[in-house]
Structure formats: structure tokens, C-alpha cells
Amino acid sequence: MPDTLPQRRYKIGQHGYEAAPLSPGLYLTATPIGNLGDITLRALATLAAVDAILCEDTRNTGKLLERYDIRAPLRAYHDHNASKVRPAILAELKAGKSFALVSDAGTPLINDPGYKLVTEAIAEAIKVEMLPGACAPVMALALSGLPSDRFLFAGFLPPKSAARRTRLAELASVPSTLIFFDTAPRIEATLADVAAVMPGRTVAVARELTKLYEEVLRGEPEAMAEAIAARGGLKGEITLVISPPPEGAGVLSQSEIDAKLIETMSRMSLSQAAAELALRLNLPKRELYARALELKELGDDEAP
């Protein structure tokens, strides 16, 4: 007799549908990042049919299920309880259960919990299936107007400026468009750091994607930081997209490096100059400091 329990059904508007039974396994299910209409038909049928939905926050996922009258049980799976509950989840999957894994918004595992669950499920020969859908980094890239043929998503940047500059310097020579998540309160400081560490770049700041106040700002990072400050800041969730290095960037002659060292040394100590240029040029600090000492000695020898 076919399974027609209420939790196996879903509604779109006033129309009800019965979800087909699923084979055992883990179903990674993308959910909307703002607009609940962005759910796919396949995702609705899957969420209605699984034995349980693993989610970061049952309240957030509950709003989506309420919209489509889905009654599948919700179970919390997040950074704070994952190591504790994962063994039981894997045991149930091996016993023939079907679970959907969702994040609070967007595609599971993309800066959200689930990586260890997936790797351990694969190791246990448990079926893992992906249901694609909304993904903020990909949407921001498409809207940015920047090259999309090669890109790197690098998650959240560090909250402190020094660590943030170090991370940006590490990625400065990557020949791809870069994508980061950031918070509204620190986006101005982040843009200032991008301008300092990655000269010559163009950026796009995408906020509130798919929501009522969706907006994409494009331009030079320094000018954008000033414009955002003049507006009194931004609100909402932020995705930052940075253009690839300009052609030939990072390929400096020794004379060009020396000129930058001499200029920077005129404003600060040797160690500070080496540290700043190491970030800006993505070069080893120790080598820059050694060269700064040589240049200083040469300058002292030429002094009257």
C-alpha cells in the first residue's frame, strides 16, 4: 500500500502533491537564500519524502516547510552538536533511512556544516545525492560584471584588519575572480584593505541577494568605501567579489621593488616597510627586509 502519510505531501499554492518514495541515502538539498519562491520542485518533493531533515536551525527551516505545508520531522545538525549526533545519523542511514541535509540558506557545505557528514557517509558507502539550487557566491559572481570563467570562493575574511590583509595578500596572485562573505559593519574597512593590498582591482559588493532590498555596488574599492560611508553604511548580508589581478601584476623588476622599498622606508621603519610591502606585493617579508638593509647601507654610503 503506497505511503500517503501527511509528511509525504507538499503544497504549492492551493494545490497538493504526493511525494514519491525515496531510496535510502543522504540528500544535500539547496534552499532559498531569501526569496522562498526560489525552491526547486525536486527539492520540495525530496523534503516531503525523507524520513527527517537535518538543519542548522529548526526555526529557520520551519518557515520554509510551513510555506509549502511539508510535515517531515526536523532534526538539528550544526557546528555545536555535529560530532555528537553524526554517529547516530550515519547508523540510521546505513539501516535504510533517508535524510535531507539543508543549511539555513543556500547550498549545504558552502561555508555551512556538513562536510564531515558527507565524507563519512561516502566512506561508509552510503548514497549521497545533491539537489542544486540557490548559492549566494555564484549569484554574486554572475551579477558582479567581473570575469566568471575562473573564480575562487574563500568564505569569510578575518574580522581583524591585520589578519584580513594577510589573507588578501595570500590570495593576491591567484589569477581568478575572488569571492568572499563579509559583514555589513566591516565592509568599509575590508574595502580599504583590498585597496591597500590589491591595487588596481575592481570590486562588486552584493547585499541582500534575492530579498526586497537586493543591491549590487560596483567600482574601485577605495571609492566604494567612501560612498558607503557617505550613505551611513550598509545593512544585510554581504558577498564581496574582487576582480583578478591586472595583467602583469606581481611581475616586478628588482628596480621597481627597490623604488617601492625606498618610498615606503621614507615613511616608516625598515621592518614596517618590509611588512607592508610583503602584504601589498605578496613577497617574502624576510627577503624584503634584507633588501631594505642593503638599500639603507647604500644610501648611508652615499650621504655626505
Cα 244 to Cα 151: distance, rounded to the nearest angstrom? 9
- Which residue, 191, 176, 261, is CA-closest to 221? 191
CB 58 within 8 A of CB 28: no
| Whole-number Å distance between alpha carbons of 85 and 83 | 6
Domain boundaries, given as residue ranges, for the chain:
7-134, 137-242, 254-297
Angle at 21 between CA 17 and CA 23, to 5 degrees: 150
Of 8, 112, 105, nearest in space to 64 by CA:
105
Are 123 and 52 spatial neighbours (Cβ–Cβ below 8 Å)? no
Output the pLDDT for position 124: 97
Q: Which residue has the cell 554517529?
A: 87
pLDDT of residue 256: 78
Contact 216, 139 (CB under 8 A): no
The CATH architecture of the domain made up of 7-134 is 3-Layer(aba) Sandwich (3.40)
For residue 28, give the nearest of 96, 140, 113 by alpha carbon. Answer: 113
- Angle, nearest 10°, between helix axes 187-197 and 161-171? 50
Total Cβ atoms within 10 A of residue 165: 25
Please give, one letter per residue, the 3-state secondary structure of the chain. Answer: CCCCCHHHEEEECCEEEECCCCCCEEEEECECCCCHHHCCHHHHHHHHHCCEEEECCHHHHHHHHHHCCCCCCEEECCCCCHHHHHHHHHHHHHCCCEEEECCCCECCCCCCCCHHHHHHHHHCCCCEEEECCCCHHHHHHHHHCCCCCCEEEEEECCCCHHHHHHHHHHHCCCCCEEEEEEEHHHHHHHHHHHHHHCCCCCEEEEECCCCCCCEEEEECHHHHHHHHHHCCCCCCEEEEEECCCCCCCCCCCHHHHHHHHHHHHCCCCHHHHHHHHHHHHCCCHHHHHHHHHHHHHHHHHHCC
pLDDT at 5: 47
Task: Reply yes or no on domain 137-242 having CATH 3.40.710.10.
Answer: no
Q: What is the pLDDT of residue 287?
A: 86
The total number of residues written for the chain in this structure: 304
**CA-to-CA dists, residue 111 to 44, 70, 103, 235, angstroms:** 23, 26, 9, 20
The per-residue pLDDT for 304 is: 47
Residue 284's pLDDT is 79
| Predicted local distance difference test score (pLDDT) of residue 250 | 56
Q: Tens digit of pLDDT per residue, the chain (304 long)?
A: 444 444 699 999 999 999 999 999 999 999 999 999 999 999 999 999 999 999 999 999 999 999 999 999 999 999 999 999 999 999 999 999 999 999 999 999 999 999 999 999 999 999 999 999 999 999 999 999 999 999 999 999 999 998 999 899 889 889 999 999 999 999 999 999 999 889 889 999 999 999 999 999 999 999 999 999 999 999 999 999 999 988 655 556 788 788 889 988 998 898 988 888 887 776 778 889 999 999 888 876 554 4
Q: What is the pLDDT of residue 299?
A: 72
